[in-house]
Amino acid sequence: MFRGPIKKNGKVTATFSADFSNTGVGAMVTTNGPETGQPSSQSAVIAPGGTNQTNMTLGPDGLYRIFVDVKEASDGGRLKVVVNGKERDADIIKGDTTWLYSIE
């Protein structure tokens, strides 16, 4: 899902809190893709009931993507994005999810 623009050169923290009722471990990978230069990614695994996060500094342009991969379509949790210490997005997600931002 496209979530809108995100602040360029911002420090972004993506946090996934998995539901305790999830049927297995989930994985989250976040990628900063600048228009020039190589992308960089960070990944984390999240046990049912657990919380984990990734931290990265964005570039001046391009795309920022969060991909959460869970075991079953009915698994989910709460995904939160904080930019420069301020909450940018937070929502309940279900099943495999992508959030895409344009870095501006």
Binding site for another protein (CB under 8 A): 1-5, 19-27, 29, 31, 33-35, 38-45, 47-50, 61-63, 65, 67, 69, 71-74, 95-98, 100-104
Structure-token pair, residue 13: 């923290």
Q: From CA 62, how far away is CA 21, in angstroms rounded?
A: 36
> How many Cβ atoms are within 10 Å of 8's Cβ, its own excluded?
15
Taking the complex as a whole, the smallest distance from the CB of residue 66 to another protein amounts, in Å, to 10
Taking the complex as a whole, the smallest distance from the CB of residue 77 to another protein amounts, in Å, to 11
Among residues 1 and 86, whose Cβ is nearest to another protein? 1
CA 30 from centre of chain: 5
